[in-house]
Amino acid sequence: MTSQRIAIYGGNGFIGSNIAEHLSQQELCILCLSRTGHKPMHLRDQRWSERVRWCQGDANDPDVKLLSSADTLVCSIGSPPLPTFSSNAYNAQVHSNGTVNVNAIRAAGEAGIKRLVLVSAKIPKFMQRDSFGYAKGKRLSEEAAQEFSELSDQHQVLILRPNMVYGTRHTATGKAIRLGLIFGPLSKIFSSQFNAVEKLAARVGDFISKPEGYSQSCSVLEGKEIYLKD
């Protein structure tokens, strides 16, 4: 049987690379797309990264032909929820958290991809307003994902809305920033406020390997709902 083909936009980022690592343990063909197309510095010596194709692909201007070889698209693109004090900063937040994902999702529909995973975010109610660029961007992304799920009966979407995601991040030079040392213990006290990146990646793997377990055309999981049951 031919391996499933998974394309990941943002695959060289914190969440995207963790998803790629988890999926590399399965019999899958994984394509990590980023503007540079380069494997991150901290992954150069990681054996699992050799089982992944690292290719140049700008989600802002998606290559439909490149995406047409994939069965599933994972969108893990975004920027931190920072406050904006100018129209340029506001528009940048909407663009990086919304427009880029919308472009990628629509291109996936044109390419014939049938399954989509969108990594969104759980946003507090008082911040769920369009005057907050981050929230507007996430809303636009989720609306595009919903539209994708309505393309046909065969189209299926999983939207993940994690809280603050913790784990080991890396700088461009490969230096490790071990957020888990701080937020791991805090997550045991404030369990509703944090999500471990490994748990998020495991949920993506479950959706890809067992799509029949997700009965809705567009499933939305947030916070601890993302964690698989033991």
Q: How far apart (Å, rounded) are the C-alpha atoms in residues 63 and 89?
A: 27
Name the helix (H) or strand (E) containing 176: strand 176-178
* DSSP-assigned letter for residue 217: S
Query: In angstroms, what CA-CA distances link 187 with 116, 182, 190, 215?
Result: 28, 9, 5, 30
Gap between the Cα atoms of 57 and 67, Å rounded = 10
By C-alpha distance, which of 208, 203, 209 is closest to 226? 203
| 3-state SS assignment for residue 2 | coil
Can you give the pTM of this predicted structure? 0.92
Q: 4-165+197-226 falls under which CATH superfamily? A: NAD(P)-binding Rossmann-like Domain (3.40.50.720)
Residue with tokens 């937020």: 183
Rounded Cα distance between 66 and 92, Å, is 26
The residue type found at 118 is L
Bridge-based pairing state of the strands 168-170 and 52-56: unpaired
C-beta separation of 213 from 206 below 8 A:
yes
Neighbours of 147 (CB within 10 A): 16
| pLDDT tens sequence for the chain (230 residues) | 458 999 999 999 999 999 999 999 998 999 999 988 989 999 999 999 999 999 999 999 999 999 999 999 999 999 988 889 999 999 999 999 999 999 999 999 999 999 999 999 999 998 899 999 999 999 999 999 999 999 999 999 999 999 989 888 888 777 877 766 666 666 566 566 789 999 999 999 999 999 999 989 999 999 999 999 86
